[in-house]
Copies of this chain bind each other. A is one copy, B any other.
Amino acid sequence: MVAEEVNVNMDINQIAQMAGVSRATVSRYLNDGYVSQEKRAAIRRVIEKTGYVPSRQAKSLRTGKTNVVGVIIPKINSASVSRMIAGITMVLNEAGYQVILANTDNDASREVEFLRLFAEKSQVDGVILIATVITPEHREAISALPVPIVVLGQETDCCACVYQDDYNAMHDLASIALRDVHHPAYIGVFEDDVAVGQMRRKGFLAACAEAGIEVPERAMRIADFTVDSGYEQAEALLENYPELDVIVCATDSIAYGALTCLREYGHVVPDEVAVTGMDDSEISQIVTPTLTTVHLHYKTSGAETARMLVGFMTGEESVPRKVKMSCEVVARNSTR
């Protein structure tokens, strides 16, 4: 009815006509080019009246920029990943980018698939890869990428990255956990994951060496990232290494499983067996006993990753190529 009515099907030509200028001038108005005060005012009036919004796809077609960032994640319903995404979306939306999500469900080959998909015809202006492993296929796909990428969660030389200080985190935690202890056990994850699998394990072993403790093979076990798997491996430890007096776990989830197992087998934590995790998931303050762990700044690391990527995409000078996050050991009641 009214002229105020918002018409979605308005284009730059109509705006130009209504404002009495050329379409080039409207485009300049939209992109901060030379436009006189009078025309500027006239165009603003028309745009406000009509509710005109420029077409993203036309703009993308012409400029080759999409204002979209692709985020590849192994699994969305994981505490650490969702915290990272929270940080990523916060920064990226703030900077005017849209975030498209590619969930691979822990399938590394689909990660490569998505990398290639994003590479094609510049679907996105940049990529964030929350990585668990980096295979040669990953490297290849990454170097073929025509847009900037930042890897989150693993240290790598094949591109920019933001990662946790897994070695020191575990080293410092283990140093504390090893006090008054003689038979430590460790439940880690598969070594393909360099950060969580290798670095944390090395940190643990280094702390043991410093404490003058030799760790037998049967005290070292491998779980996956689940609670159930933590339970199973703890059970196996009780069987094969009954003298253990602390179980150091690579993640909080594994530690929850270990706690549950110890409870069911009637061992008192921490008096008989201490337990530690890593991640400081929200639940760690809730389980019984509360879990000694390391707080990793996941949300902040996501934000930092996004900031770096924005830096690359906007061609900023002096964007760091590697960021190692800090962390804090949180001593609670599952250790002595």
Contact = CB atoms under 8 A, between A and B. Distances in A.
A56 interface: yes
A211 interface: no
Interface in A22-65: 53-58, 60-61
Interface stretch (A159-167, A239-247, A281-289): A281-289
Nearest to A61: B57
Interface residues of A, number: 48
Contacts of A299: 77
Contact of A286 (B105, B122, B256): B256
Contacts of A256: 283, 286
A77 B86 contact: yes
A101 B82 CA distance: 12
A292 interface: no
A100 B68 contact: yes
Interface string A254-288: 00100110010000000000000000001101111
Nearest to A73: B89
B89 A101 contact: yes
A300 interface: no
A82 B58 CA distance: 33
A268 to B, nearest CB: 13
A85 B99 CA distance: 14
Nearest to A62: B57
Nearest to A119: B8
B86 A286 contact: no
A141 interface: no
A66 B60 CA distance: 12
Contact of A77 (B61, B68, B79, B123): B79
Given A54-B121, A76-B85, A288-B287, A100 B98 contact: yes
A101 B103 contact: no
A93 B103 contact: yes
Contacts of A123: 56
Contacts of A77: 79, 82-83, 85-86, 299
B102 A101 contact: no
List the 8 closest A-B pairs by CB distance, nearest first: A288-B288, A77-B82, A57-B60, A53-B120, A89-B103, A57-B61, A283-B283, A256-B286
Given A53-B120, A56-B123, A78-B82, 20 more contacts: A8-B119, A8-B120, A8-B122, A55-B61, A55-B121, A61-B61, A68-B100, A76-B82, A77-B299, A89-B101, A99-B100, A99-B101, A101-B101, A227-B285, A256-B283, A256-B286, A260-B286, A263-B288, A287-B287, A288-B288
